[in-house]
Each structure stands twice: as structure tokens, then as C-alpha cells.
Amino acid sequence: MIQLTSDQQRAYMSDYLENGWREEKMSFSSVSLEPGYIDGRIDVEHFQMPGDGQFHFSAQSAMIWISQLGIIYGCWDNQMTKKAGEVYLRDLDIKFKRSINTTEAVRFEGFFPKHCKKQLSEGLVYYKNAQIHVEGGAFTGTASFLVPTM
């Protein structure tokens, strides 16, 4: 087995994955809800420019905003005025079909059909396999969330 030196490791690594994601600043520009559905638009306010000179919405950032969708939807769906505790992203299965290069109003949609919601116990709701679509299907998949309600 060959042991890489620190310099060899750095030569292979992505600066973005090591440092750039920490520099990102993103926020919701809007959030709309209805029973079974949430539509959130993300504005990218600051990012580290990658080597190819074009912004790429990363898998890491997508996971953060998918988590935020689940938190907001779970609290809203359970008539909560604020989070009662930590909401957990239990699993995420997502395919990254094409890159997202836009920085304004990146669309994150969550579909929560009635059959995906289950009351596990008093004060704990589970949303299983909510459908997630980002920017018209560029990223698609399912996510499950555990939401404390008290």
C-alpha cells in the first residue's frame, strides 16, 4: 500500500470541498406552502468561485436546504409557531442529474403526500420518503424527517 504525503493529498483535493463551502452565504428568498407541498427559493449571496469560473450548486449545500425544507414543512404542517426541538433528516436518497449554475431563486420543492406522515408517539412525527425536486429536476430524490412537536 502507498502512503500519500500531505502535498500529494492536497494536489488531488478540491479546494471547494475543503474550504469553499464554509464561505457560502445562502438564504430563502421566498417560501410557499400548502398541505402536502412546499416551494422554497434560495438566493446564493456569496460563494467561492471554482476553478472553472462558474458557480455550481453543490451536493453539500443542497442537503442543507433540503433539511431546511423538511424543518419548515414539518413545523408548519403541525401548526407550530416555532421549532419545538431539533428536526432530524433521517435519510436522503438524491440523484444529481445536471448541474445548477444559477444563483437566484434556485427552486427547492418538497412533496409530502398524506401517506408519508406518521405519528410515532405523542410529540413525535415522522415524514417518510417525501419527494424532493431541485431546480426543475436537476436534483431529485426522497428524504425522511423526524419532527418533534412538543
Distance in angstroms (rounded) separating the CA atoms of residues 123 and 14: 42
Tell me the three state secondary structure of residue 48: coil
- Cβ atoms of 18 and 1 within 8 Å: the answer is no
pLDDT given at position 19: 75
Longest dimension (CA), the chain: 57
pLDDT given at position 50: 78
Tens digit of pLDDT per residue, the chain (150 long)? 999 999 999 899 887 777 777 788 999 999 999 999 999 999 999 988 877 888 999 998 999 999 999 999 999 999 999 999 999 999 999 999 999 999 999 999 999 999 999 999 999 999 999 999 999 999 999 999 999 999
Q: Is 49 left (phi over 0), alpha (psi -120 to 50) or beta?
A: beta
Distance in angstroms (rounded) separating the CA atoms of residues 145 and 128: 7
Number of Cβ within a 10 Å radius of residue 70: 26
pTM for the structure as a whole: 0.89
Radius of gyration of the chain (CA): 18
pLDDT given at position 99: 95
pLDDT given at position 28: 97
Distance in angstroms (rounded) separating the CA atoms of residues 148 and 140: 26
Distance in angstroms (rounded) separating the CA atoms of residues 37 and 21: 28
